Structure formats: C-alpha cells, structure tokens
Amino acid sequence: MGWGAAIGGGVVVTGQGHRVGDNRERADGGWVNGHELTTAARVVTVFTDAVNAVAVVIDDRAGADAAAKVSMTLADATRALDASGAPQPPQVLVEGVRTILLYAVQTTGPNPRVFVEGGTSGELAGVLGGSTGVAALANALAAYGVAAAVRQPLVGGPGRRLVTMTIGDDVPPPTPVPPTPVPAPPAKKAAAKKRVAGTAKKAGATKKAPAAKKVTATKKAPAAKKAPVRRRTKGSGR
C-alpha cells in the first residue's frame, strides 16, 4: 500500500530509511516482493490487536550469525520480566538457515509496535504476533511454517472488501533511566565523640586549687602565778 508499506492480517508493515525501487511495471502502483521491504534500515510492524507473543524471523543464508546483529524494540508493549526483574530472554526455534526468536510481551497501548533494525541485507524474513502465548505461537510455526501460520489479510469469496490502514510507525520513546541516587555523606558521630572526649580531658587537665592548710590550734597562754599571801602572826606589830 503506497511506497514502502504493506498490509497483512491485523498488521501494517512499513520500512524506514529506504525506498522501494520503481520500474516501468510499477509506475504509480503495483506489487512488490516483501524481501525488498525488509531491507530497510528500520522495519516497523504495527498490530491492530493486543499481543502477548512476538516472533522475529531471521534468515541467515551466509552463516554470519545474523540473529545476533538484529535488534528489536517495542512501543505500546513491553517484554515480560523474569523473577529478578530483567527481561526474559527469547526462546529460539531453528529450522535450517532460519532462526525464529520468540519474545513474551505485554501490550500497554492501543497500537503495539515492533521495530527491527540491522537487517539491511534482507535477513529479516518476517515479524509475527500472537495472543495465545509463546508456546502456542512456537507450536504453530513449527507445525505449519511461517507462511502458512500467517493470517490472510482478506477473506476469500464473492463481494467487496474494504481495507483501512493507519500508519503507526513513529519511533518508540526512549526507555527512561532512573537517576542513580547519590548517597548522603555519613554523619561524623565518631569525630563528635572525640571532641567531647577531648573537651573532657581538657577540663580534667585544669590544675586543682591547693587545699587550704589546716589552721593549727594556738597554744594557750600560761596561767598567771598567784601572789603569795602573807600571814600575820599573833603578837607581832604594834
């Protein structure tokens, strides 16, 4: 639909940083191989319904570990977390040169989107979503293959079909990184104790006033001697 866009069953795919080449058969419109769309610098897959499992299909024909070079980010969805709070690693399904990475996700908005980068050489073979969990999606891909597991965009039969498309390929917002808390400097309690101790020592180092000397008792003055009493004898005197 248009240049660099495609529709599927409940999904719209667009390529960013790339323009599909035109030729005389295409002019103002025409069919294009999906491989040409997936060579974009960023391939955006927008789902119309909530999903809880996402499969990213990588073809590694050159044997250059293409799955490790492709990155996947989400918008209006988050990866499921393990017991430690880290994102769960993808489950891997290998079929010949094809590697399928299956992610458990949680839809958080109206338009869950998958952004795939790093497949400019055509390694990206498709992005699928499911609402029945990773295990059910893996079983369907292993049993029927990717092409047969994808829902058709239109139901066959007589009559008219109305197709509507809404582009939701905006870049996902950056993941907020909480600031690292700066620990407060420890209170200098030990230093305060030392200061108090030092003050106490200084107070104790002050010289004591000399004790007052005891006042010794003064010696008593000697008693005055009594004067001798003269006795008169009879017959003496005139």
Tell me if 101 sits within 8 A of 55, measured CB to CB.
Answer: yes
Q: Which residue has the higher pLDDT, 172 or 216?
A: 172
Q: How far is CA 219 from the centre of its chain?
A: 98
Q: How many other C-beta atoms can be found within 10 angstroms of the C-beta atom of residue 126? A: 22
Residue 24 has pLDDT above 70, yes or no: no
Q: How many other C-beta atoms can be found within 10 angstroms of the C-beta atom of residue 23? A: 9
Please give the pLDDT value at position 159. Answer: 77
Tell me if 97 sits within 8 A of 60, measured CB to CB.
Answer: yes
Residue 221 has pLDDT above 70, yes or no: no
Please give the pLDDT value at position 22. Answer: 63
Structure pTM?
0.64
Query: Which two structure tokens, joined as six digits, stand for 62?
Result: 């050159």
Give every CB contact of residue 76 below 8 A, 6+ residues apart in sequence: 107, 108, 109, 110, 111, 112, 113
Helix (H) or strand (E) holding 142: helix 134-144
Please give the pLDDT value at position 161. Answer: 73
Please give the pLDDT value at position 100. Answer: 93
Please give the pLDDT value at position 89. Answer: 93
Distance CA 131, CA 100 (A): 17
Amino acid sitting at position 163: V
Tell me if 58 sits within 8 A of 67, measured CB to CB.
Answer: yes
pLDDT tens digits along 132-166: 999 999 999 999 998 888 887 777 777 787 776 66
pLDDT tens digits along 64-101: 788 888 889 999 999 999 999 999 999 999 988 899 99
